[in-house]
Structure formats: C-alpha cells, structure tokens
Amino acid sequence: MNAFASAAAFAEPQPAPTIGLRVLSLGAGVQSTTLALMAAHGEIEPMPDCGIFADTGWEPQAAQLRLTVTA
C-alpha cells in the first residue's frame, strides 16, 4: 500500500456538497424534449433550475423544429 492510499483510508469523512444549481442538459432528440416538457409541467423532482443545449450544427431539421416549438 502506498502512502497516498493509506492516508486516504484514514481521512475524515467529508460532508456532502450543497447543490446550488440543477441543470438539465438537453440534446435535441425525443428523450430530451420529453424531459424538458416534463420539467415545464412540474413532473420532475427536484425541478431543474435551467436547461442548456449546445448546438453543434449537426442536428437534423426535425430536431431544430422541435427545439423552436419546445422553447
């Protein structure tokens, strides 16, 4: 056992971090759209604070349309 492993084995337990922001990471597919709509209707617990989507420019036209309708 190395020194790092033995020190970690005896370390004091740390409290769980406080969650400050809940983010829903979205693609543009059916599953992400469903999650976004469920969040908008209060069906997800805990409720996300926000949703993010990174447009790579490779989404099909149907996905782009779904984004404009959902937003």
Mean pLDDT in order along the chain per 10 residues (71 residues): 59 80 85 87 90 82 74 60
Task: Report in angstroms the alpha-carbon separations of 53 from 4, 26, 34.
Answer: 40, 5, 14
Q: Which helix (H) or strand (E) holds 36?
A: helix 30-40
Q: Model-level pTM greater than 0.75?
A: no
